[in-house]
Chains A and B, each alone.
Chain A
Amino acid sequence: MKTKIALLILFISGSLFAQEQKMTAAEISKFKEDVNVVSKKIKTLSTDFVQYKHLDFLSKDIETSGKMFFKEPALLSWQYKKPYNYSIVFKNGKILINDEGKKSAVDIGNSKIFARINKLIVGSVSGNMFDDKEFTISYFKLKGQNLAKFIPKDATLKKYIKQIELTFNKEEATVVQVKLLESSDDYTRIVLKNKVINAKIDDSVFTN
């Protein structure tokens, strides 16, 4: 009986290990190269998303969903459709908000933190944010997927985000999940699906 339990524990811990395995140096450079090649080709991107806000004390994650559009070099629109209409556009150093028809704008031209967050969002979605100056990055292999973990080096950014985890589809080298950790217990997980690359996106998507 005891041996059976020991074997079982071994098996479980073994399979846990198998789930998240560190990449070798060669695998890391191949993975980065794959992502760079794909993200360089991205001129436009649209995708559906589902956002799960996890707070440890809640019985259920808070789920919201919608569509996201990106156009080179830095036009970005997040549109929440369910359960409420809320959209936020990053455009020419401004944040434009449309909250159930109520519109407002924030000038972020001079705000370094917002500029950085903007870069971060674009980077997370296109996958290209392997900047060793900004982050301490570690790389892992999963079944059919790759995982990169980014720990911000900047103290201000670190106050808001403890760690960012990007999960990539191995074949396509594109991001399928973004996880923003605020602490060990609380995080936001965004699942991207039905991704369309380089289709024409009308500029009206980026007015708000």
Chain B
Amino acid sequence: MQKSTIQFLLINCFLAIVLVSCGSVTQNYTPKKLDKTSIEVPYFSDSKTDYVYKTNITVYGHEMSGIFIAKKINDTTHRVVFTTEFGNKLMDFEISENDFKVNSMVSELDRKILINTLEEDFHLLLKNKYLIQEQFENEENNIYKSADGKRDNYLFFSKKHQKLEKVVRSSKTKDKITITFTLENDIFAKKVVILHQNIKLKIELNYFKSE
């Protein structure tokens, strides 16, 4: 009797874990009435600012570092360049809502899977307008859901600071990419971390002021 109770509990626990991990990404959030239908993100949107960050990339245990440079070059497009500390250009892209153009890429990094991953990351990082369909909250955040093709983007505004501090890109059941912002002020992020949940990739950006 006791044995079967334990078995029953174990199975229940197992089922509970399976169900939790298969559940919707929003299941721990409380739905709320929509208070806005669009959100603009200002962190990379000023066309007069050179966004220059020291970068550390960890990919499957390998470390890489360099300098990440982004600039809004017209209404729709950002130029993104990644160089070594010495200044050699490793990648050079132009990226907009619907377009992604590789200007140059060193042959060592010229891999389709890498380019596709970075395209998705930088798209999300530099996106400055989201249309909102649903709203939720948890203890610390107001959470806005914005559909984006097969994926959904969730924008986390901390209740304490009333600022966008996290963007999560998810499928229906799993988080794929999390971007966290540490803010210098309302319109500028001094630190950005892009973390992938399905592959072992982390990109950390730390702003630096030129002398």
Binding site for B on A (CB under 8 A): 50-51, 53, 55, 57-65, 78, 80, 82-84, 86, 88, 97, 99, 102, 104, 159-160, 180, 182, 186, 188
Interface pair B63/A58, CB less than 8 Å apart: no
Answer whether residue B184 sits at the interface, using C-beta atoms and an 8 A cutoff.
no
Q: A65-B211, A99-B56 are in contact. Are A80 and B85 (CB under 8 A)?
A: yes
CB-nearest residue of chain A to B90: A160
Cross-chain contact A84 with B210 (CB below 8 angstroms): no
Whether B167 is near chain A, meaning CB under 8 Å from some CB there, is no
Q: Which of B78-100 contact A (CB under 8 A)?
A: 79, 81, 83, 85-89
List 14 other contacts, CB 8 Å, given A60-B50, A62-B50, A160-B88.
Answer: A53-B67, A58-B50, A59-B50, A61-B210, A62-B67, A62-B69, A78-B86, A83-B209, A86-B65, A99-B65, A102-B56, A102-B63, A182-B89, A186-B89
A55–B211 Cα gap in the complex (Å)? 17
Q: Interface size of B by Cβ–Cβ distance < 8 Å?
A: 25
Please name the residue on chain B nearest to A102 by beta carbon.
B63
Q: Smallest distance from the beta carbon of B193 to chain A beta carbons, Å?
A: 16
Which B50-73 residues have a C-beta within 8 angstroms of A? 50, 52, 54, 56, 63, 65, 67, 69, 71, 73
Look across to chain B and name the residue whose beta carbon is closest to the beta carbon of A99: B65
B interface residues (Cβ-Cβ under 8 A, vs A)? 48, 50, 52, 54, 56, 63, 65, 67, 69, 71, 73, 79, 81, 83, 85-89, 106-107, 208-211
- Name B48's contact: one of A59, A83, A104, A180 (CB within 8 Å): A59
CA distance A23 to B77 in the complex (A): 45
User: What are the 3 closest A-B residue pairs judged by CB atoms, nearest first?
Assistant: A188-B87, A63-B210, A53-B87
